Structure 1
Amino acid sequence: MTATPPAGQKSGLALFFTVTFATTWAFWLTAIALGGSPMSFPTVIPYLLGGFGPVIGAIVIRARRARLRQSVPAHTVRLRLSTRLFWVPLLLVMAPATVLAGALLAHLLGDPAVSLTAGQSLIATMGGPVPFVVSMLVAGPLAEEPGWRGTAYPRLRASLNRVQASLVLGAVWAIWHLPLFFISGTVQSNFGLISWSGLLFTLSVIPMALLTGYAYERAGVVASIAVHFGVNATMALLGVSSPLTQALILAVQSIVVIALLAWQRDSRAEPRVHTAPPLHQAIK
C-alpha cells in the first residue's frame, strides 16, 4: 500500500499558495491601480513588497508547523557543508552560462552581437555594481526561493517525482508573474502579454523551475538562490529582449536540465511503501 501525504502537509501546501498569491497579487494590483513607473513613488512600495509573497508564505507555513509541532517534510534538503557546498559555485557558473550560450547562438543566427552596453547603463542607473548585485539577489532569489523551493517543492515531492513537482511549480510560478505584465515599466510590461516575447518569458519559467529544482535537490535553498540569481543577473546585464535570443536561451536551458536530470538518478522518485513488520517483531 502506497503512503499518502498527511492531511497537515496537504493543507500546508494549500495554505502556502493561498498566502503567496493573496499577498503578491494584492500588492501588485495596488501598483497597477496607482499607475506610474514601478520605481516611482508611491507605486514602488507595493511593487517591491509584492515580490516577497513567496517568502511571506514560507514564514506562515513555518510558524504553523511550529505551532502544530509538525516534523520537517521528508523531502526537505538541508545544506551539508561537507558534501553539498561545492555545488553552489558550480551551479552559479552554470546558470549564467546557459544564458550566454543562448545569446551567442542567437547572434550566429542573425541577432545583434552580445553586448554589455545595456548592462553597464543599468548598473550606472542603479548606483554601481554593489546596489545592482544586492537588488538582483533580493528581488527574486531571496524573496522567492525560500517559498517556491524551500517550502512548496518538498511538499510536492511527497507525492510527485522531481520532474512532476518542478513542472507543477513552474506552471504556478508562471501564473504568479501575470500581474507584472500590467505594471507599466516592468520587463514583462515592455514585452507585452500577447506577444512572442511575453509568451517566451512565460514558457521560460518552466526550465527555470526544473533548473532551480535540480539545484535545490543538490544543495538546498542556497543552490536554488544561486541559479535564480545567476540567470536573472545575466539576463539583465545582456539586456535580453529579442524573441530569438529568448527562445534559444529557453532551448539551451531545457537541454542542460534534461542532461542533468538524466545524469543524476532520481533516487526518491518512487512513492514510499509501508510494509508490515516481520512476524517475530509483530508479536513482541
Structure 2
Amino acid sequence: MAPTSNPLAGAPAGRHRGDLGLFVALAFGLSWASWGAAMGLGGSAMTPPTALPYLFGAFGPLIAALVVRVRRRRRGEPVPEHAVRFRSRALAWLPLFLVATSATVLGAALLAQAAGGPALSLDGARDVMADAGGPAAFLVSMIVSGPLSEEPGWRGTAYPRMRASMGRLQVGLLLGVVWSVWHLPLFFIDGTVQNELGLATPSGMLFAVSVVPMAMLTAYAYERAGVVASMVTHFAANTTMILLDVHTPVTLALVVGLMAVVAAFLLTVSRSTSGPAPSAGPAPAPAPAYAEPGAPAPR
C-alpha cells in the first residue's frame, strides 16, 4: 500500500507562521495607520487632536496579540510550547530585572561622563516628571506606553512562535530589527523622543540600533519569568534613559554596547526555561511517516 501523507505533519509550524504573520500585519497596520493619521494632523504628539491617534498607535502590538489569542482559543489550539506562563514565584525576579536594567543604562551614562560626555543631573529628571503631571503620572505613563502596550505582543506573542523554529540569539536579533522598524514613523511626529533626536542624525540612528539589544534583554527576562518580567525590563530601560536624558551619540553608543554585551552573555550562558523539560528516559521511537487508514493520528 502506498504511504499516505500525515494530515498533522507540519501543522504546528504552519500554525505558528500563520499566527505570527497575522500578529505582525496587525501590529504594523494598526500602529502605522494611526501614526500616519497623527502625521497628517500635524502638531505635537501630546496635544489634541494629534494625541489621540498617536497614543492609539502605541497599542497596535497589544491589540494584535489579543486578536491572535482569541483566534487560537476559538480554534481550540494549545499554547505555543515556548510560551512562558506567569507563576507567582516569578515575582522574585522582578526587582532583579528592574535594578539590573537600570544599572546597565546608568553605567553607560557614567562611562560617557567619564569620557567627557554630559554630566548627570537630577534637574532634567525633575522637569520631565513635572511636565508629565508629577511623579505618579509619569510612572503610570511609562508603564502604559511601552511595557503594557507592546510587551504582550512582541515577547508574549511573537517571541514564542519564532522560537519554534529559531534559536534564542537569532530570535532576539531578528525580532529586535522588526521592533526597530516598527518605531520608524515616530521620527516624523512632532513632540516624540525620536523626532527630537532626528532619524538622519547619529543619535537617531543609535536609538534605532539600541532597540536590538533591548529586544535581546527583554527576551531573556521573558524566558526567565514571563511577560511581566519583560514589561519590568522594558520599563526600567525606558524610564532610566528618559530620567538621565540619554540622547548624545557617545552615551547612546555606550548604552547599545553595554546592553548588547549583557544581553548576549545572558542568552548564551543561561539555559532556556521555556518549552517542555527534557526527558531523563530513553528517546522516544520516531513517529511513523504515514498512518494506516482508520488508525488514530499520532499526537
Q: TM-score range by the shorter chain?
A: over 0.9
Partner of 2:80: 73
For 1:86, what is the secondary structure of its paired residue? helix
For 1:154, what is the secondary structure of its paired residue? helix
How many Å apart are 1:161 and its aligned residue?
Answer: 1.0
Partner of 1:202: 208
Residues matched between the structures, number:
274
Partner of 2:246: 240
- Conserved in 1, the CA contact under 8 Å of 2:173 and 2:212? yes
Partner of 2:220: 214
Distance 1:232 1:268, change over 3 A: closer
Cα distance in 1 for residues equivalent to 2:154 and 2:287? 37
Cα distance in 2 for residues equivalent to 1:120 and 1:262? 38
Cα distance in 2 for residues equivalent to 1:139 and 1:267? 28
Cα distance in 2 for residues equivalent to 1:21 and 1:274? 42
Cα distance in 1 for residues equivalent to 2:273 and 2:148? 28
Cα distance in 1 for residues equivalent to 2:273 and 2:68? 27
Superposed, 1:118-267 pairs within 5 Å as: 118-266=124-272
Match of 1:276 among 279, 286, 294: 286
Partner of 1:40: 47
- Answering whether residue 111 of structure 2 is matched by residue 105 of structure 1, we say yes
Distance 1:275 1:36, change over 3 A: farther
- Conserved in 2, the CA contact under 8 Å of 1:207 and 1:253? yes
Partner of 2:13: 6
Letter in 1 for 2:59: F
Runs of 4+ residues over 6 Å off in structure 1: none
- Conserved in 1, the CA contact under 8 Å of 2:223 and 2:273? no
How many Å apart are 1:125 and its aligned residue?
Answer: 1.1
Cα distance in 1 for residues equivalent to 2:249 and 2:151? 26
Match of 1:53 among 60, 66, 85: 60
Cα distance in 2 for residues equivalent to 1:268 and 1:187? 34
Distance 1:274 1:160, change over 3 A: farther
- Conserved in 2, the CA contact under 8 Å of 1:79 and 1:85? no
Cα distance in 2 for residues equivalent to 1:191 and 1:274? 55
Cα distance in 1 for residues equivalent to 2:154 and 2:228? 13
Give the root-mean-square deviation of aligned CA atoms.
2.0
- Conserved in 2, the CA contact under 8 Å of 1:52 and 1:144? yes
Cα distance in 1 for residues equivalent to 2:209 and 2:145? 20
Partner of 2:293: none
Cα distance in 2 for residues equivalent to 1:275 and 1:16? 35
When Rg is computed on C-alpha atoms for both structures, the one with the higher figure is 2
TM-score calculated relative to the size of structure 2? 0.88
Letter in 2 for 1:55: L
How many Å apart are 1:127 and its aligned residue?
Answer: 1.1
For 1:180, what is the secondary structure of its paired residue? helix
For 1:193, what is the secondary structure of its paired residue? coil
Q: Deviations over 1:80-138 (max 9, x none)?
A: 223x3211110011111111000000000001211121111010111111000000000
Unaligned ranges ≥5, structure 1: 279-284
Cα distance in 2 for residues equivalent to 1:47 and 1:241? 22
Letter in 2 for 1:276: P
Identity of aligned residues (%): 52
Unaligned ranges ≥5, structure 2: 1-8, 289-299
Cα distance in 2 for residues equivalent to 1:122 and 1:268? 38
Q: Deviations over 1:137-166 (max 9, x none)?
A: 000000000000000000000001111111
TM-score calculated relative to the size of structure 1? 0.92
Cα distance in 2 for residues equivalent to 1:137 and 1:266? 26
